[in-house]
Structure 1
Amino acid sequence: MNQPIPDPAPAKDRLRATLIAARRQRSGADRAAAARANAAHLRTLLAGARTVCGYLPLDSEPLRTDLLDHLVAAGCAVLVPVIAPDAPLDWCSYPSPSAPGAFGIAEPVGPRLGPGAASSADAVLVPALAVDRTGARLGRGGGHYDRTLALLSDHHRDRELVAVLFDGELLDVVPTGAHDRAVTSAVQPTGGIHRFRS
């Protein structure tokens, strides 16, 4: 991982604003095509997984719930997150009815399984605005996934932590701080799967 810098917040905020603006400029057709391509890569990567932590994507993200439906149909248990303030993510089984959560993001309204439920996952799909070539990830700034990935690292279990990106979002360097957690791989529509550890 990159060398953490004392105060990465200004650099992260600038990069985050640039990346969010670029995503807003993408057409619906471009987003849908990216999501289809990412789903094809992820179906291959996740074949045989027994449990996967996914997420309910924003319209601007390069993922759709079709992938989660495919995994469930293939016999995989899928968990999706619920945001808890200043805490690791909680989880619910998918599919489940959803409603807008505290941040306006769709969240499941089914029974909560607790933050520890993710420790059973073979893979965790992680939303990201960018990832660099060491696996350092830039999210939206809430820290929820960093707290969850830190919790998972305590279980010493080998699992895929997969950032889901558009093409052009795998960068040379992403600014990082001491609490940031790296992913093990990333998926891009035309770039396919990039692995950051063997």
Structure 2
Amino acid sequence: MRHETDRAAQAVQEAKQELRQRIRAGRRSVLADERSRRDAAIADHLLALLEGHTDRTVAAFAGLPGEPGGAGLPDTLRDAGLEVWLPVVPGPARPLSWLPYRGSHSIRRGTFGIAEPSETPEFPSPISTVDLSGRVSTLVIPALAVDRDGTRLGQGGGYYDRTFSILTGRGEPGRLVAVVDHSEFGVDVPRTGHDASVQIVVTNSGIFPTSAGNRAPR
């Protein structure tokens, strides 16, 4: 029985890796002008989603090259009057921690070349995800793909899955909003019990709630 479970888990991981490779190849094929157009549309839809909420604080991310949302997403949110927090990768196999974003002048390159905020006198070290949950109710996160039931495919490091399992265990996951290109939403994403699920997906085509049990056609 254990061998069957191990084989099933291995098959899921192999299917995930195949899907990652396919989506990464698709992203590399997107020309710069088209990438900019999609990122602008994503930003507009994301701001529309956040507009009107009393909570003017949001956790977000600075996109890697070719990643939907783009490196300028934190500035777009900040320019709209939001207080923005960005993740810090503390080390292998650990959940993310967080620092406030104070502008592009405060950015450094952290693990994997990801843009991270520098410490400030007010925050001389990053805060934990549990502490962040007391400040932020909406977390905007990157993804490679999202199924219609909210199953998220990440880059494979497991940082977001570990991070949000902490909040789920405390009964306070917040509102998870994934950002992908529209062709990456509604994809059949292989899943395990450790994968984070999101409630809302923002693409270049609009805002889409997910629905538990609503999987993409196989």
TM-score (norm 2): 0.81
Mapped contact 1:53–1:123 kept (Cα < 8 A):
yes
- CA-to-aligned-CA distance 1:8-37 (integer Å, 9 cap, x gap): 110000000000011011111111111100
| Pairing 1:82–2:88 present | yes
SS of 1:124 mapped into structure 2: strand
1:193 equivalent in structure 2: 207
| Distance in 1, Cα, partners of 2:58 & 2:131 | 11
The count of residues paired between Structure 1 and Structure 2 equals: 193
CA positional deviation for 1:70: 3.9
Mapped contact 2:64–2:71 kept (Cα < 8 A):
no
CA RMSD of superposed structures (Å):
1.9
Say which of 50, 57, 60 aligns to 1:51. 57
| Pairing 1:107–2:116 present | yes
Q: Could you say which structure has the higher helix fraction?
A: 2
Greater mean alpha carbon deviation, residues 48-57 or residues 133-142: 48-57
Mapped contact 2:65–2:71 kept (Cα < 8 A):
no
| Distance in 2, Cα, partners of 1:115 & 1:157 | 11
CA positional deviation for 1:65: 4.9
Say which of 60, 63, 73 aligns to 2:69. 63
Residue identity in the other structure for 2:108:
A
| Pairing 1:98–2:107 present | yes
Identity %: 38
Task: Give matches, 1:1-198, under 5 Å.
Answer: 6-7=9-10, 8-47=12-51, 48=53, 49-84=55-90, 85-95=92-102, 97-110=106-119, 111=124, 112-119=126-133, 120-157=135-172, 159-190=174-205, 192-197=206-211
Q: Identify unmatched segments of 5+ residues in structure 2.
A: 1-7, 213-218
Q: Identify unmatched segments of 5+ residues in structure 1.
A: none
Mapped contact 1:185–1:197 kept (Cα < 8 A):
no
| Distance in 1, Cα, partners of 2:155 & 2:72 | 23
Mapped contact 2:39–2:69 kept (Cα < 8 A):
yes
For the pair shown, which has the larger CA radius of gyration, 1 or 2? 2
| Distance in 2, Cα, partners of 1:158 & 1:18 | 30
SS of 1:175 mapped into structure 2: coil
TM-score (norm 1): 0.89
Mapped contact 1:118–1:152 kept (Cα < 8 A):
no
Residue identity in the other structure for 1:98:
I
